[in-house]
Amino acid sequence: MRRMVLTLAVLLLGAMAASAKDVVMQGTIVSENSVPCGSEAKGKKQTVEIMCQEYVIRTATTEYHVRQEKEEHKALLPVNAPVELTLSKDKMKFKVNGKGYEMLVVSESAAPMPAAPQQ
């Protein structure tokens, strides 16, 4: 009896851990802003500020601010586009229009509550 309960508990915990690994969530790209993300030396005393795109992706409960991790990924993503996303530590992988992207999560906050209908 103990062995059966122990085996069942191990299977249940294993299934829970496997299902929590890559949970696919649905979201929407709400906005895009250009933000400073570093500087580059140009000559002896000149520095030029480097700009990155920062996107706000909203799910049902959370808003994520994400930035491109690498400079070579500079494609602009459409605003109000639906996305399928997964989170892994501080990185977000998502698909927009069938193309995959990986970005760095800069911050997250609770999504704003929808406005109550006025009577």
Q: Convert the pLDDT of each residue in 26-44 to its tens digit.
A: 999 999 998 888 888 887 7
Q: Above 60 in pLDDT, residue 19?
A: no
Q: How far apart are CA 62 and CA 27, in angstroms?
A: 9
Tell me how far apart the alpha carbons of residues 89 and 7 are, in angstroms, rounded to a whole number.
Answer: 30
The beta-strand segments (E) located in the chain are 25-42, 46-58, 62-68, 82-88, 91-96, 99-110
What is the model's pTM?
0.71
- Are the beta carbons of 66 and 55 closer than 8 angstroms? yes
- The pLDDT value recorded for residue 117 is 67
For residues 69 and 38, what is the distance between their CA atoms, to the nearest angstrom? 12
pLDDT, tens digit (0-9, with 9 covering 90-100), for 68-113:
876 666 778 899 999 999 998 889 998 888 888 899 999 989 888 7
Residue the block writes with tokens 């109000």? 80
